[in-house]
Structure 1
Amino acid sequence: MTRIKKPIFFCMLLLVSWSIAFGQKTDFVTKSFEAAAPLYQNLLAKTKGNFTDYPHSLYENGDIKYLQIDEWTGGFWPGSLWYMYEFTQDEKWKAAALAWTNSLESNQYNTAHHDIGFMMYCSYGNALRFVKDEKYPKILLQSAKSLCQRYSPVVGSIQSWNKRKSKGDINTWEYPVIMDNMMNLELLFYASKISGDTIYKHIAIKHAEQTMKNHLRKDYSSYHVVNYDPKTGKVLHKQTLQGFSDESTWARGQAWGIYGFTTVYRETKDARFLKTAMKMADYFINHPNLPADKIPYWDFNVGQPGFKPDWDYQPAKFKETPRDASAAAIASAGLLELSTFLKGKEKQKYFNAAVAMLKSLSSKQYLNVDQQNPYFLLKHSTGNLPSGREIDVPLIYADYYFLEALLRYQKIAKL
C-alpha cells in the first residue's frame, strides 16, 4: 500500500475540514439574515421619516434608545441596511440604506470626538461599494480631514475624547486615547488612496504604532484608555472606563484591537501589525475565562483573583456574569479577515474560532429568532456596565459587525 506523505495528508485533512465548514454556511448565514429582515422592517417602520434619531439599543421598558447625529453609533444602522442589501439584493434595503446614509452628510465636519470613522465609513464607505455618487468620496475625504484635526504629532495619536475626568474622578484625562480608536484608521487609509496625499496614511500608521506601544501588555491583553500629556507626549495613566478594572481586559476593547490591527496590516503589509493582531487574537480565543460557547463575558477578568475594581461592583445584581455578544461579533469579523492573510494551521485556527463564535451568535441563545424584541437581531450585549448602562441588551453595532462577519464568512467560502 502506498504511503501518503505527511504534508500531502495534512493538506487533504485541511481541505476536508474546510469543505465541511463551508457546506454548513447556509445553516446559519441565511437563517441570520432571514431573522433580521422582519426586525429591520419593523425598525424602518418605527423610524419612518425620522432621519435625526439613530437606533442604538433598547431601554428596560422596551422602548428604542436613540442617539443623535453627532453620537458615535449613527453609521451602524445604515451600514446594517447596506449589508441586508448585499445579501438579499432587494432594492428596498438599498433605498433605505441610501436614505439613512445621506442623512449623515453634515457629520463630515464633526470634530467633537474620534468616532467619525465609525459614523462615516460604516455608512458612506459601504455605500460606495454599490452606488457611484461623485460626492461620496468628497464627503469621506472631508471626514478624514475632520478626524485629523484631533491628531497631535507630539503625542503621535488621535485624541479620542476631549479633556475629562476619569472614572470615579480619580484623575483628569488630559489627552485620552482609547483602543476603540483603532477602528477609525480605515477611513484615513481610504483618504490617502483617493487624494494621493500620504498624510492620512502617515497619521494612521503613527497612531497604530503608539497604540501597539502603549495600549498592550506583555501578554497582548489591552488597556482601554491611555492618557497622555499633550505637551510632552508622556504617558500619564493607563486605565479603563468600561472594563472591570484598570489592569483587566475589557472584552470589546480586545476585539477592537484584533479587528483594527488586522485592518492596518491589510493596508500596510507591515508584519508588526500582523503579529499584533495574531497575539491579541490568541489572547482572546485561548483565554481560560472564555466560556465554552466562545461568547465572552463583558470583561475577561471580571471577578478573578488579583483584579479589583475602583467602583462599586455588585455581582449579586446579576443572575450570571453578563456576556458581550458585540465583542464576539467584532472579534469574529476581525478573525475572519485575519485568517485570509495566513496559511495552514494558523489560517484554520482563526477561521475556526470565528466560525464557532458565529454559530453561537446564530443560535437561539443570542439570535432574536423569536422576536423577544421587535427591532434588533442580537441579544445579550453589554455597553457600559460600570456606568450601569446597556447591560444585557441588543446594540446596533453588535448587529452591524455580526452581519459583516457573516458576509465575510460567505465570501471566504466562495474562494
Structure 2
Amino acid sequence: MMKKINLAATLLLLIGSVSCAQSPKKPMAQLINDEFKFATDQYQVLAKNIPAGKTPQSFDKGKSINYDIKWWCSGFYSGSLWYIYEQTKDEGIKQEAEAALKTIESNQTYTGNHDLGFMMYCSFGNAYRITGKPEYKAIIQRSAESLATRYRPAVKSIQSWNKSKLWECPVIIDNMMNLEMMNWVSDNGGNPKYKEIAITHANTTIKNHFRPDFSSYHVVDYNPQTGEVIRKATWQGAANCSAWSRGQGWALYGYTMMYRFTKDEAYLKQAKGIAHFILNHPNLPADKIPFWDFDAQGIPFAKRDASAGALMASALLELAQYTKGNEKTEFKSAAETMIYSLSGSAYHAKLGENGGFLLMHSTGAYPLNSEIDVPLIYADYYYLEALARYKKWYL
C-alpha cells in the first residue's frame, strides 16, 4: 500500500512536466508581447473593482479584496501598471498608474513598519524610471528617510515589525527587499547613510538568518538593547525549521540586488547559494512553481505559491546576468520554465475572470489561514517584472 501511495505522489510531483511537454511553447518574444497585451485588458477589469482610496490585494469567493494604503502591498498595483505601460504605451494604463500613485503618496512619511520599499519603490521607483519626473524622485527620497527611522544600531538591522507580545525586535527575511530603495537613493544624490544602513542590514542578515544549506529562517528576534539573537522562528512558514518558499525568494532577490548595487562578491556567493538550494531541492516540482513551503505537510498535495515562482523567476533572470557558463544557463533556464508554467492554463487567468488579476494559485500565509490558493497582487507584479527583464536582457 505504501508503495502505491509513494508512486501516486511521484506522479503528481511530475505532472507539471507532463503538461508542459504536451503543450507547444510559444517563442518567448511572442509570449511576452501577448502577456502585456492581456495584462492591459485584464487590468481594466481589475481597475473597476477598486474602491476610492484603496489598493487591490486579491479575489476570493467571487469578491474583490482591497486594503488600506498602509498595507504592505499598496505599491504593487501602480508598479504593475507602470510595467504594462512601459511595454504597451497605453495611455489609459498610464492614467490609472498615475491615479494609483496619488492614492498612496502620503505613505512617504509612514514609519509604522519596514515595508516602505515595497510600498514606495515598486511604485514611484518604476514611475520615476519611466517618466523622469523630479517629484517622483523626491517622494522616493522622503520614503527612504522614513524607512531609516526603523534602523536599530545595536541590532545593526532595520526593525521589521513593532514590538508585541510575541516579538521584541523582529527582523524578517522579507526586509531584504526594502534595501533596494535605500541603495538607490544614496546612489542617486541622496544621503549616503541609507546605503550604509542597507549594507549593514544585509551583512547582519547573512550572519543570523541563514542555515548552512543557504535556506533562510523567516523571523529573527533580537534584543534591541544588546543586539543578541533571542530566537529564530517563523510566522508564515510551516515550522521554525522549515524553508518558507516566498521567504527563500525574498532572500534570492535581495542578495542578487545587493550585488548589483555594491559588487560585493559575498552577496553574489550568497545569492548563488540560495538559488542552488531552491533549484536542487527534491520538493521543487517539475514545473518549478514551489509549494508554499519546501517542507510543507502533505507534499505533493500541498498548495502551490505562484507568487514565489514569479519572484524567483525575476530574481534568477538578474542573477544569470552576473554568472557565467553552466550556472548562467541553469538560472536562465529555470526562470524560463517558471515563466512558461505561470503563463500556462494551470496558473494563468482567463480574460475577465479571477477578479482582473493575472495569476491564480498563490498562498499568502497558510498557517494563519489567510490568502490560500488565491490571486495576489505581488504575484502579478513580479511576473510582469520577470517578463520585462527577459525582454530587456535576453531578446
Common fold by TM > 0.5: yes
SS at match of 2:220: strand
Partner of residue 29, structure 2: 26
Partner of residue 198, structure 1: 192
How far apart, in 1, do the equivalents of 2:62 and 2:99 lie? 26
How far apart, in 1, do the equivalents of 2:267 and 2:56 lie? 34
Partner of residue 56, structure 1: 57
How far apart, in 1, do the equivalents of 2:235 and 2:183 lie? 28
1:319 CA displacement: 9.9
SS at match of 2:67: strand
1:102 CA displacement: 2.2
Partner of residue 8, structure 1: none
SS at match of 2:129: coil
How far apart, in 1, do the equivalents of 2:280 and 2:64 lie? 36
Structure 2 gaps of 5+ residues are 1-24
Q: Deviations 1:202-247 (Å, cap 9, x if unpaired)?
A: 0000000011111100000010000000010000010000000000
Partner of residue 384, structure 1: 365
One-letter identity of the residue aligned with 2:361:
H
How far apart, in 1, do the equivalents of 2:300 and 2:191 lie? 53
Counterpart among 318, 322, 336 of residue 337 in structure 1: 318
Does residue 234 (structure 1) correspond to residue 228 (structure 2)? The answer is yes
1:45 CA displacement: 2.5
1:268 CA displacement: 0.2
For the 8 Å contact 2:42–2:351, the answer to whether it is kept is no
Partner of residue 201, structure 2: 207
Q: Deviations 1:97-122 (Å, cap 9, x if unpaired)?
A: 11111221110000000001000001
1:138 CA displacement: 1.3
One-letter identity of the residue aligned with 1:118:
F
Aligned residues with identical type, % of pairs: 50
SS at match of 1:238: strand
How far apart, in 2, do the equivalents of 1:160 and 1:196 lie? 23
* 1:4-153 alignment, distance < 5 Å: 24-47=27-50, 50-59=51-60, 61-153=61-153
1:370 CA displacement: 5.4
Q: Which range moves more in the overlay, 193-202 or 217-226?
A: 193-202
SS at match of 1:320: coil
Q: Deviations 1:129-183 (Å, cap 9, x if unpaired)?
A: 2223222111111100110100011100000000124xxxxxx310000000000
How far apart, in 2, do the equivalents of 1:369 and 1:151 lie? 44
Does residue 406 (structure 1) correspond to residue 365 (structure 2)? The answer is no
Moved >6 Å (runs of 4+): none
Partner of residue 351, structure 1: 332
> RMSD between aligned alpha carbons?
1.6
One-letter identity of the residue aligned with 1:198:
P
* 1:266-305 alignment, distance < 5 Å: 266-303=260-297
1:349 CA displacement: 0.9
For the 8 Å contact 2:210–2:217, the answer to whether it is kept is yes
For the 8 Å contact 1:137–1:194, the answer to whether it is kept is no
What count of residue pairs does the alignment treat as equivalent? 371
How far apart, in 1, do the equivalents of 2:325 and 2:146 lie? 41
SS at match of 1:130: helix
One-letter identity of the residue aligned with 1:52:
G
Q: Normalized against structure 1, the TM-score is what?
A: 0.87
SS at match of 1:46: coil
How far apart, in 2, do the equivalents of 1:38 and 1:88 lie? 11
Q: Normalized against structure 2, the TM-score is what?
A: 0.91
Structure richer in helix, relative to its length: 2
Counterpart among 371, 375, 388 of residue 394 in structure 1: 375
Greater Rg, structure 1 or structure 2? 1
1:87 CA displacement: 1.3
Q: Deviations 1:363-394 (Å, cap 9, x if unpaired)?
A: 01001135442310000000001000100000
Counterpart among 244, 247, 254 of residue 250 in structure 1: 244
1:86 CA displacement: 1.1
For the 8 Å contact 1:51–1:100, the answer to whether it is kept is no
